[in-house]
Structure 1
């Protein structure tokens, strides 16, 4: 286990691994420049694939050697050594060689990184292998406070007793004196220079970068302060909005309660009025009933019990009374129907309008919000991107409840959608269509339709291009003999046209032509984009070469290194070096950023190389050979690592392979010219799957977009086809 440092000379946090929270042990640097213990990274890598930096979550593609292949942070090692040496010079610390002699003065061997007592120091200086080691005594250790002057010496892995004192600029490698005689002898293939000379140039470059960093830091720091000011207003804004919302809905509740009391009062009043009217009616009917009943009783008694004299005396009178009562027109109807409460506005209608009862107001302008529908493929997770925009036209954040989506397939069946905020003001709407055909995607912000909603989404099957860019011709948006294809820094598709002798840029979402610029040379062919967003374009035949072209289409440089003849495919590395297929010499050239030759690779092994792609995480380049029907893998030192494939139409076989590219997992994607099959192979060349068979004729270059589509330049089809990959 690593131990905590007792010294106060350094920021202890800087020397502490953020995973194990102990001092670094064999510190390794990730590409994002965060440092961790080698053992911590190895354990982290077993739990997570692909590996992500524990600090910034940047995905890391490990080299073939795994964590061991990562660079060691020697600066941190030097700090730890310096602290250990300073501490070792204190009384009571044992010698790290004999593990005794806690008393007495100590010395530190910068070559071996060992603290030694006087006896061990004397012996150390007598041995032939260590007599030249730098061993400062205790008084020097106690007096030394400049960490930059204290460092562990680096020795050659091949010549163990030799210090690394040279740098081979051709190979980008530190070498010792013996290496300059054996493996890196000065000449055409190697250029060893003293480390101090190269380091000084690199320091000047880094100092220039530091000068560029400071203004950017100030800009970012000002932005942080602005965000902090807004954050300080967040809670007061929340409290004010909460109070306003409560007051608003309290008033709505009061209005509803008041209306309820009014309706209940109306019901009471109606009940009383109807009750009084019915009572009056009842009394009138009962009065008529009493008169008729009385006459009935009198008449019946006269008939049943009266004498003849009595009947004659009262008979006429009874007859007149009864006939009058029977002839009387009576209103026996009550003229009343049962009253009831009527919903003038149905609850379900109110429910639909509830969303309009207040809302969270932001400066979002729904009329400016935009939706970009990405090409959709049946059975794949498909996306559309919503950008919520303010009145100034800038992306702005709103709450997730304000965004609602709904999708239906051609039959009207609902398709579940998910909404997730990707970045400030940008929302990803994802869904998985189960059928092909036109789907309807409805997108609302604050209950208002975004312009264009509902959108038509044409879902295609995986074997159909999701988008076909271009058609035969020489006009804007038209193509003639497209060969190379690449993805620029903005995610757009850059296409080299051999027939029109130009590069044309297309929007990957719509296929619309955005820009174009001419290319010198008779037969432009390959293209790639460097880390600065500039284009590298090759051409063969008359006026051949590699041309560096700005993002705006301005020619910056043309290089024709020695030994190059008819360059085809090209791949540029992050550090600016290039690999170009040297078709005329049946090889590939590794070039410096300025176009000067580093080495010739594959001569005598390649037959008709066409395209190249580089897996920088492993330092391996993959070259397609159309006549050998193989893909060759070389390391950047020029060694053949392996090859795979043979002629045929079965899985894993090739028929004139052309374009090649590498996916984020390190898999190799290759397209055939003859049958159009687009196949995927593992890192070792093992066949994985066939993506599709390209419909456009004569597939050449291919490129993988960041959002999981493959662009294929179809030479005879005079188009670029886009297929779903992941």
Structure 2
């Protein structure tokens, strides 16, 4: 070949070539190959110099060993101009030739082994098999205790232990071990050119013969393709196959261990369940047995009572009987007719009495009924429904979780949806879902799990600060799909929607101060600057404006929805409370001499009107007609006092919530209950000049800092 270039595949120092620099290209191939840099110097001398810096060989065997080490494996990498692709050619040594040359005893021509023909290293550095060495020693040794090496004829002394004491040839044994580990692969040849090895293009994934294709396999477009011998490609693919098979076996082993572990856990779970069933039913048996003893005791008690009555009657009969017998004794000797007549009269009376004594005062009847009411049927039905064996078909590896937006200090939720092995959504709950939420620093955050009993579970938490968090979710101690989940927690709570801008137009605001909603979802915005209430529908579309004398002079400030669906507002300038229909019609109004600067209004479930007065630092409660019911509060910053009252609202149970520099909660009669105090540094005015609202009876208080914060 002309214009051949040799590319370096192994980094060698210019003055030193060490065996550790060898890179085995296919260590399991029967024909050992290595990529090797060729220089114009005497390669043989450079190799020998690298092993012996002095330039001298210790023995002829050392020379052979060096040649062996560097002749075993080498590869020439050509970039051939006759082909349009990068071609890798190999020069190899025949397996049988290698055995005959280096692994065969030069005396008996037997291949070295680990028994009879084990290689023995002589002091002259030559190697002879054990069998030949025994024969040579037996033939040559008489009284001298020496023999001659069959290769170099050097005189060698016999050690005390005899032939077996000669050390084994380490290099030959290493070569034997190496050769025993090699596979006998076949080099693929072209069917049309038996002497030509097939090549493989990694880019095109094509096998071809250079003679059959004329030096090209895919036209001029294959100039950048990588071509290697097909035998090496087979070796590589075999290694990949073995690697994949190893991974597959490892995964299957893991799967087997997991399933086996699940079977063990199943047995343990069954044992616990059986124990629980036996214990629970034993409790039922104890209850039934207790009731049985109670009924039996009652029967015995009734028996004793009846028996006592009958015994008393028997004693009375016996006493009367004895009395009659005593009176009748000696009557046969009685001759006085008058006495006899009297006795006969007495006996007639006793005869009448004995007729009543002949009837037992008590009876023997006693019976226990079990069907006198529905108790038996109820117990039967209850027992039939008592105990429910719950199982789950949930497959955690296919179950997923939906992450919603997480805002600091607000309740966030994650919905877990479970499916079975076939991917079908489950419709029942009771799965042992476990969640663990951790911050970036490893701090664990409390989570709560709510079973919706429809195959889904809601995990709620309140993130304390912004940043990334990891949520680990498992079912049956097995992680669900994509667990752990990364949750981005933000300090910013972007609005779901927004409406309007500053101005006096239909969609504009100048000073919106209160927002309330009714049961239909309509939104009422009190715009003090425009002296109107803007009404939006549930789709945040403008429906109408409410204008009234209650809103004149930019003084209508507080607004709320009454239980009847009307609107109640207060005008701080006129010190008047107005009730309007949701269409804006004035229904009623009232004022009070106690008002100084009424700032907000609320209505409880009874229709009582609660007015917060910033000037008087009081909260007033009126009935619907304007009659004062109660008042509480005074100027100050203690509990039950108001420093700068700004807002008032009611809770689910008619609690009264009042905001100044804190939020104070009173019961419906004005008794102080508790307060919410801002503990943030530098935010003393957090609750001042803000609207206050209770949402969905959950005591969630949307509060906003003053303007500019």
TM-score, reference length from structure 2? 0.40
Larger Rg: 2
Query: Greater relative contact order (Cα 8 A, min sep 6): structure 1 or 2?
Result: 1
User: Higher strand proportion, which one?
Assistant: 1
TM-score normalised over the length of structure 1: 0.39
